Structure 1
């Protein structure tokens, strides 16, 4: 079935809303005064999913206009079970790895798994890709981005060590130049003082010699 421009625009808007909701639901655990137990919090999430899903009954007349009749589906029940375990593992991962790292990791992993189902999975839901090369590039960039997020501290420490190593020769050069200047200044001071001592000695010797001549 060919998609029109209106269907494509509506799909993009709904996908953006889905991304917003998927990136926001895990944040509410951080708003609690005390860090909630992941299993208990996930149980509350499932109750919220049940209550919000009942809204589909009110939307049934609008859905039936498109030729789709609401009914029970065992695949839908299985999908709900997988969703419960997905959110449970997400809430367990957040206190262990942090919200940013955990959400980036499971988001990237979910996209890779969905891509594999659509690219190399069984006929439904597999569909032919428009560009295999661009799809591979997108997946590689996505995985590299998540790896950089997970290794951010190690990358920062490595770059810091390299910068310090590159600045070390210049610092040594500055220290050597300052030490040479101090040595030259001290040698100049010593030479100047020695010259002054020689002049003083010469003057003193001349005065003594003149005194001796006068005594004679």
Structure 2
């Protein structure tokens, strides 16, 4: 079974607006939409009906839920209920509800904190903070992307410089002459004249 208390008409156990208003640690009012899943222990179901009747939900479960939630929400700041402490608060409420209702034959299966409505000013402040955090994360992402691209370009430029340096070191006069002569072999009418490697003077035997 489930019991829901919601600020939306027609969505809770009561047709009218039925959210739970609780005070936070700093004294702010928050409205909570909650759903509690539960069932009766099989060996105690008859006792529950005999002692409380068919309206046992309104007689014991509803009051226990509302009082337990108010007691526990008082330990949290409003902004944390909206974010990082939400799951923790839900777990604590579930554990404390179990302590209250299990001895009466009612087993709590789960507690769903469906909505947390904060005071308007605080809600806007949190939204601005979240937007600022998202903008900062986007800026960091773009900055890291640009840094990686700059690093890639530096590595690429260094590779090109190193490659050019190796090529330049290999371009000796002898190598250039060799390539020049090699390219002349396909030219018709080319006459090869050996030269002195020291002074470049042509060498002619018998002259």
Using the size of structure 2 for normalisation, the TM-score is: 0.33
Higher strand share: 2
Of structures 1 and 2, the larger Rg is shown by: 2
Greater RCO, 1 or 2 (C-alpha within 8 Å, sep 6+)? 2
Higher helix share: 1
